[in-house]
């Protein structure tokens, strides 16, 4: 049969193949394969023999590969036979041997065709196109194995050819074929990894990773050819596409044109693979790692990066990396939200992908800032999301875990924006645009809830999910991240241009306003850690107050802008514009910053600022601006005077206090405002301090005597306001002297007492007195002065004063204009705790005293009630009267009355009486008998409970490690010893401390000691409960 003879002829031809290959008669066998042999099996055997027996001669190797190409192009078989024939061709190409570093166009062409054919046939099979052909079982896997082997062998051959010390490039015809083959290899990996579903998927994915690794290595060998212009860096603003390089730099294009095209297309494919693998989750980590590392290696090689950037658009790459970093951060954040058992090791493991993406993005921003800054909007959004998500972990993560997050994530996050703003080859307008994106208010609160609602039922996981998914309307979460990013920019502003510094200065108002956003300040204050740059230029997260964090950053920025006159002028405008900011915290920030500047500046600069503020204050007072605004400015001036040289305080004294300031209304208002807001004579030189103060006291006394004379004669003119201000100043001066333990001449005190007594006498002359007496204003000044000279009058004079004072105060309290008395009366009453009176119901002084206490305790406003209760608590602790309930009115208007039977019981008054009765015992530092009895009962109960626990089964008893208990007890002992040492030192200071304290300060001291007593008592009980532990008792007496 012809077929049989053909087959026998084929076998004979095959048996002599090896001899023919050695003798060079190869073309005869190739001719047989292509033209004579018809049987598929024989052709396949002949083809495999040709491939495996190809010699090391280049001409033979090229002949075999050309034959393989011809076989692939022929259309001799159909359906299943065609598939088998092509599989054989691919297998033969994969085992074809040839000289080292020898590569033929036919083999590269065949590798590309085979790869595309597999993708086509596999995707067709998945869509049901080959159902009629009935491909044999396992045929696709067989094709995949053959194609993978071919691709791998081709890549290894190319690496051997081009990965040498000397830089070799393919010729003009082979170069495009290599580029197409590499593109098909990327497509093959993409298809197999994400679209080819088999039972042996994991094994196939590992082979794909190997192929991708080889492909990336090959592309990197060509990347070495891109070295840029031989004369160094060029202006890339003139390069928009590859054709511009070919036109403007032909000598560069001649050697670097092919590598540029190949590398740029490969980066595009790798970025696509990286994006798909990132979305693929944990099953695609290997592919993600290789893809993005390859992108980084190709893109971030500094040599020739300018030329490469002309073809590769790094803006979407940077945007993708930042987006992947934000999504990768969601995993560790939510892990620590849902689990309290995660530790530092888990935190480091989970943050690896985030750090991986951010480091690549940071390197891109560093190497291609002029391209990266095109993604300003995405950069501002992503960086703000990352920082906000870290700052919001105040309630769920331990500080050590947050420290890990910040250590791995924050440096690269902040460096991205810093690189772009510091880059010299980026236009200033682009930098300003980035800064505007960071400080934009598109995410301001509209409605809905805010960060402050996190503790009110809105789960943090939901909030963070909205943050990560850009659902920002109504939450204001992004503002926290933007504030943190802006503050970090201030910290590294020393590398910025003057234009950018000027823009930053204009944005300082945005910083102050941003703190006031609903929920933003709450979120920042509850953050456990805040970013801060160290002197070594490294970022660290410290546990610090928001105020300190922002203040330190502003101080750093102030030191930078002071170097340029124009920017410094704008910065000073910021200080003057915000010194009267309506928000107290913002005013304190500005004032703290200003104090820092005054400390660092020379005397002339400080004088200019003090002079300008003082001039502004004079204008405000003279024009009768709202009092609260003038006081804000006066306080700022006084605080700055504490930091300025002594000459500045002397300057203010010479203008305001050297001459009688009570000669005009404007001058008296200015003097009073300064003294009320903190102007202190301690700022003056020690040589003149006492003389200057006594001079001002004498001015006050002169005006006070003038007031007394006018009141006696009934001559009250418009200058009455000045005399009242003099009394206020006199009181402030006496209070400062008492606080600083400075002696005042006895003569001045006696004259002050005279004025006080005369004012009291005139104010208590009855209901027929003039209106300016019955309004309580004069009486209020007199009572406040009497508080500071109460050691001078005798007890009989006080006894005589109280009935008249009670009558006048009762009448004035019924007058709605007696608001001044509502404040001064409790202060006066609090100072009467050491007075001694006859405890007789008929004693008019004692009855008057009780009546006086009824006045503040009947008030309705909560603040006035609080003042009265605070005053009465001072009196109740120090007085000797046992029946203190009589000092409380029966009809207190704050009472909530409830009817019980036939009697009306006042619930508020009952609670108040109970408080009064227990007040001395609560404030005493020595436990009472009742307290000791209660403690003994509690101790007996504890011992009983201990015996009950011992009787339980051992399985019910929780085991406690002895070492842990000993460590805790050692800490308690150390705290106990430190507390005892502190109390010993306090005991030496208490006598002088208490003597100079006001009634309000005394109450604070007593409260703090009571709290200290409770804490030390708890420590002592813990120590006493430990066997063989030394017991110590602190003496609070």
Mean per-residue pLDDT, 306-311: 77
What residues does 959 pair with on adjacent strands?
none
**1028 falls in which pLDDT band (50, 70, 90)?**
very low
Question: Which tokens belong to 328?
Answer: 């990768």
Is residue 903 one of the residues assigned to a domain?
no
- Do 344 and 279 share a structural domain? no
- Do 423 and 525 share a structural domain? yes
Is residue 928 one of the residues assigned to a domain?
no
What value, to the nearest 5°, has the Cα angle with vertex 487 and ends 482 and 492? 125
- Do 322 and 446 share a structural domain? yes
Is residue 385 one of the residues assigned to a domain?
yes
Torsion sign across C-alpha atoms 808, 813, 817, 818: positive
Q: Provide the 10 A C-beta neighbour count for residue 266.
A: 26
* 542 DSSP 8-state letter: E
Query: Which domain-ending residue is among 274, 309, 344?
Result: 309
b/e for 433-452, b at 16 or more Cβ within 10 A? Answer: bbbebbbeeebebeeebbbb
Mean per-residue pLDDT, 212-221: 91
Which one is predicted more confidently, 234 or 595? 595
Residue positions counted in the chain: 1037
At residue 829, does pLDDT exceed 60?
A: yes
Q: Within 492-583, where are the H helices?
A: 498-506, 508-515, 520-525, 546-561, 565-578
Query: Which domain-ending residue is among 514, 532, 563?
Result: 563
pLDDT averaged over every residue in the chain = 74
Q: Per-residue pLDDT tens for 513-533?
A: 888 776 676 667 666 567 666
Mean per-residue pLDDT, 1011-1022: 62
Cβ partners under 8 Å of residue 1008, min gap 6: none
**7 falls in which pLDDT band (50, 70, 90)?**
very low
**CA gap 896, 911 in Å, rounded:** 11
Mean per-residue pLDDT, 811-836: 75
**720 falls in which pLDDT band (50, 70, 90)?**
confident
Mean per-residue pLDDT, 824-832: 82
Radius of gyration of the chain (CA): 45
**332 closest CA partner among 343, 322, 321:** 343
Domain total in the chain: 3
- Do 286 and 428 share a structural domain? no
For tokens 């190809």, name the residue: 54
Do 991 and 938 form a contact (C-beta atoms < 8 A)?
Answer: no
Residue 71's alpha-carbon distances to 64, 96, 397, 649, 969, in angstroms, are 11, 15, 66, 102, 87
Question: Which tokens belong to 987?
Answer: 């005991």
**794 falls in which pLDDT band (50, 70, 90)?**
low
**What is the pairing mode between strands 897-900 and 903-906?**
antiparallel
**What is the pairing mode between strands 539-542 and 530-533?**
antiparallel
Mean per-residue pLDDT, 237-258: 55
Q: Per-residue pLDDT tens for 636-681?
A: 999 999 999 999 999 999 999 988 898 888 899 999 999 988 898 8
Mean per-residue pLDDT, 316-331: 88
Mean per-residue pLDDT, 202-226: 87
pLDDT > 70: what percent of the chain? 64
Which one is predicted more confidently, 760 or 164? 760
Of 40-54, 551-565, 687-701, the poorest mean pLDDT is in: 40-54
Q: What pLDDT score does 806 carry? A: 83
**CA gap 740, 746 in Å, rounded:** 17
- Do 446 and 545 share a structural domain? yes
Q: What pLDDT score does 989 carry? A: 52
Is residue 921 one of the residues assigned to a domain?
no
Q: What pLDDT score does 173 carry? A: 76
Of the ranges 206-210, 277-281, 819-823, the best mean pLDDT one: 206-210
At residue 386, does pLDDT exceed 90?
A: no
At residue 364, does pLDDT exceed 80?
A: yes
**CA gap 445, 519 in Å, rounded:** 9
Query: Which domain-ending residue is among 281, 309, 337?
Result: 309
At residue 395, does pLDDT exceed 90?
A: no
At residue 206, does pLDDT exceed 50?
A: yes
Do 274 and 233 form a contact (C-beta atoms < 8 A)?
Answer: no
At residue 143, does pLDDT exceed 70?
A: yes
Of the ranges 52-66, 700-714, 974-988, the best mean pLDDT one: 700-714
**257 falls in which pLDDT band (50, 70, 90)?**
confident
Of 136-145, 413-422, 896-905, the poorest mean pLDDT is in: 896-905
Q: What pLDDT score does 31 carry? A: 65
Q: Provide the 10 A C-beta neighbour count for residue 642.
A: 15
- Do 376 and 266 share a structural domain? no
Is residue 403 one of the residues assigned to a domain?
yes
Which one is predicted more confidently, 392 or 692? 692
Do 547 and 589 form a contact (C-beta atoms < 8 A)?
Answer: yes
- Do 322 and 300 share a structural domain? no
**CA gap 65, 108 in Å, rounded:** 9
Is residue 977 one of the residues assigned to a domain?
yes
Q: What pLDDT score does 797 carry? A: 73
Mean per-residue pLDDT, 396-416: 74
Q: How far apart are the first and last CA of the chain?
A: 128
Q: What pLDDT score does 598 carry? A: 93
- Do 300 and 233 share a structural domain? yes
- Do 303 and 348 share a structural domain? no
- Do 302 and 386 share a structural domain? no
Question: Which tokens belong to 503?
Answer: 């823009």
- Do 451 and 436 share a structural domain? yes
- Do 556 and 436 share a structural domain? yes
H or E stretch at 878: helix 862-878
What residues does 539 pair with on adjacent strands?
533
Is residue 717 one of the residues assigned to a domain?
no
| Burial group, residue 37, by CB count within 10 angstroms (0-12, 13-18, 19+) | buried
At residue 954, does pLDDT exceed 50?
A: no
Is residue 402 one of the residues assigned to a domain?
yes
Q: Provide the 10 A C-beta neighbour count for residue 377.
A: 14
Q: Within 103-241, where are the H helices?
A: 105-126, 139-162, 174-194, 201-223
Mean per-residue pLDDT, 919-931: 52
Q: What pLDDT score does 85 carry? A: 83
What residues does 530 pair with on adjacent strands?
542
The residue segments making up the domain with residue 376 are 313-563
Which one is predicted more confidently, 920 or 607? 607
Q: Per-residue pLDDT tens for 65-104?
A: 887 888 888 777 777 788 888 888 888 888 877 765 666 7
**CA gap 330, 463 in Å, rounded:** 12
Do 708 and 670 form a contact (C-beta atoms < 8 A)?
Answer: no
**CA gap 896, 461 in Å, rounded:** 44
Mean per-residue pLDDT, 38-58: 71
Mean per-residue pLDDT, 359-383: 89
């Amino acid at each position: 049969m012809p077929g049989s003879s053909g087959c026998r002829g084929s076998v004979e031809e095959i048996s002599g193949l090896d001899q023919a290959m050695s003798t060079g008669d190869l073309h005869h066998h190739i001719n047989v394969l292509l033209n004579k042999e018809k049987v598929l099996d024989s052709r396949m055997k002949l083809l495999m023999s040709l491939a495996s027996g190809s010699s090391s001669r280049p001409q033979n190797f090229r002949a075999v590969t050309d034959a393989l190409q011809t076989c692939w192009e022929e259309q001799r078989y159909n359906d299943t036979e065609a598939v088998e024939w092509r599989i054989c061709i691919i297998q033969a190409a994969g085992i074809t041997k040839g000289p080292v570093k020898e590569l033929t166009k036919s083999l590269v062409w065949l590798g590309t065709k085979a790869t595309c054919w597999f993708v086509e046939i596999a995707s067709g099979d998945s869509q049901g196109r080959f159902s009629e052909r009935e491909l044999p079982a396992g045929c696709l896997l067989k094709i995949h194995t053959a194609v993978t082997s071919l691709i791998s062998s081709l890549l290894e051959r190319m690496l051997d050819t081009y990965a040498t010390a000397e830089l070799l490039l393919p010729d003009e015809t082979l170069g495009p074929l290599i580029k197409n083959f590499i593109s098909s290899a990327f497509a093959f990996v993409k298809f197999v990894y994400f679209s080819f579903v088999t039972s042996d998927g994991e094994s196939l994915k590992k082979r794909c990773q190997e192929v991708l690794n080889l492909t990336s290595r090959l592309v990197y060998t060509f990347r070495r050819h891109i070295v840029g212009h031989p004369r160094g860096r060029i202006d890339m603003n003139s390069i928009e596409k590859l054709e511009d390089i070919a036109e403007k730099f032909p000598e560069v294009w001649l050697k670097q044109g092919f590598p540029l095209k190949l590398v740029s297309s490969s980066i595009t494919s790798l970025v696509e693979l990286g994006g798909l693998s990132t979305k693929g989750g944990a099953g695609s980590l290997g592919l993600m790692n290789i893809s993005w590392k390859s992108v980084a290696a190709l893109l971030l090689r500094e040599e020739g990066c300018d030329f490469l950037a002309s073809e590769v658009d790094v803006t979407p790459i940077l945007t993708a990396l930042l987006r992947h970093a934000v999504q990768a951060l969601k995993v560790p954040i939510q892990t620590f939200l849902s689990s309290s058992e995660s530790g530092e090791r888990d935190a480091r493991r989970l943050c690896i992908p985030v750090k991986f993406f951010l480091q690549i993005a940071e390197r891109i921003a560093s190497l291609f800032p002029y391209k990266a800054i095109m993604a300003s909007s995405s950069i501002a959004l992503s960086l703000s999301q990352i920082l906000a998500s870290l700052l919001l972990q105040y309630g769920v993560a331990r500080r050590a875990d947050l420290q890990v997050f910040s250590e791995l994530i924050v440096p690269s996050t902040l460096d991205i924006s810093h690189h772009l703003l510091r880059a010299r080859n980026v236009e200033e307008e682009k930098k300003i645009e980035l800064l505007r994106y960071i400080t934009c208010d598109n995410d301001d609160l509209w409605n809905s809830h805010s960060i402050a609602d996190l503790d009110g039922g809105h789960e943090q996981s939901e909030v963070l999910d909205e943050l990560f998914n850009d659902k920002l309307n109504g939450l204001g979460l992004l503002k926290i991240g933007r504030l943190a990013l802006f503050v970090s920019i201030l910290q590294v502003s020393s590398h910025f241009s003057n234009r950018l510094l000027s823009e930053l200065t204009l944005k300082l108002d945005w910083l102050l306003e941003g703190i006031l956003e609903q929920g933003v300040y709450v979120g920042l204050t509850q953050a456990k850690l805040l970013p801060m740059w160290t002197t070594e230029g490294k970022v660290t997260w410290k546990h610090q107050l928001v105020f300190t964090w922002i203040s330190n950053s502003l101080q750093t920025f102030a030191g930078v802008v002071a170097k340029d006159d124009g920017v410094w002028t704008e910065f000073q405008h910021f200080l003057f514009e915000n010194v009267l900011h309506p928000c107290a915290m913002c005013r304190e920030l500005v004032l703290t910053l200003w104090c820092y500047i005054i400390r660092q500046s020379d005397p002339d600069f400080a004088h200019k600022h003090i002079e300008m503020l003082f001039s502004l204050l004079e204008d405000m007072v003279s024009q009768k601006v709202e009092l609260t605004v003038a006081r804000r400015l006066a306080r700022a001036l006084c605080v700055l005077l504490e930091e300025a040289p002594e000459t500045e305080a002397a300057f203010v004294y010479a203008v305001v206090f050297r001459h009688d300031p009570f000669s005009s209304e404007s001058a008296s208002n200015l003097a009073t405002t300064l003294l009320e807001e903190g102007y202190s004579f301690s700022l003056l030189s020690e040589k003149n301090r006492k003389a200057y103060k006594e001079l001002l006291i004498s001015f006050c006394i002169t005006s006070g005597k003038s007031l007394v004379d006018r009141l006696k004669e009934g001559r009250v003119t418009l200058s009455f306001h000045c005399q009242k201000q003099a009394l206020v100043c006199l009181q402030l001066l006496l209070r400062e002297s008492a606080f600083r333990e400075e002696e005042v001449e006895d003569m001045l005190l006696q004259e002050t007492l005279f004025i006080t007594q005369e004012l009291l006498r005139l104010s208590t002359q009855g209901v027929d007195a003039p209106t300016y007496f019955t309004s309580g204003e004069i009486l209020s000044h007199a009572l406040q002065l009497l508080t500071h000279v109460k050691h001078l009058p005798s007890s009989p004079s006080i006894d005589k004063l109280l009935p008249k004072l009670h009558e006048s105060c009762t009448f004035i309290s019924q007058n709605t204009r007696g608001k001044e008395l509502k404040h001064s009366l409790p202060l006066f009453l609090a100072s009467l705790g050491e007075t001694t009176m006859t405890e007789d119901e008929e004693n008019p002084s004692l009855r008057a005293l009780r009546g006086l206490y009824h006045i503040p305790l009947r008030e309705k406003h909560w603040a006035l009630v609080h003042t009265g209760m605070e005053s009465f608590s001072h009196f109740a602790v120090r007085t000797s009267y046992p029946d203190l309930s009589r000092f409380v009115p029966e009809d207190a208007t704050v009472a909530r009355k409830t009817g019980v039977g036939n009697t009306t019981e006042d619930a508020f008054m009952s609670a108040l009486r109970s408080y009064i009765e227990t007040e001395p015992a609560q404030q005493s530092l020595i436990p009472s008998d009742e307290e000791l009895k209660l403690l003994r009962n509690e101790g007996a109960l504890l011992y009983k409970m201990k015996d009950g626990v011992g009787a339980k089964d051992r399985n019910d008893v929780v085991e406690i490690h002895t070492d842990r208990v000993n460590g805790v007890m050692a800490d308690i002992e150390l705290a106990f010893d430190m507390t005892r040492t502190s109390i010993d030192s306090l005991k030496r200071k208490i006598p002088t401390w208490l003597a100079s304290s006001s009634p309000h300060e005394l109450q604070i001291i007593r409260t703090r000691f009571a709290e200290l007593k409770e804490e030390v008592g708890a420590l002592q009980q813990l120590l006493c409960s430990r066997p063989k532990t030394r017991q110590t008792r602190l003496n609070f007496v």
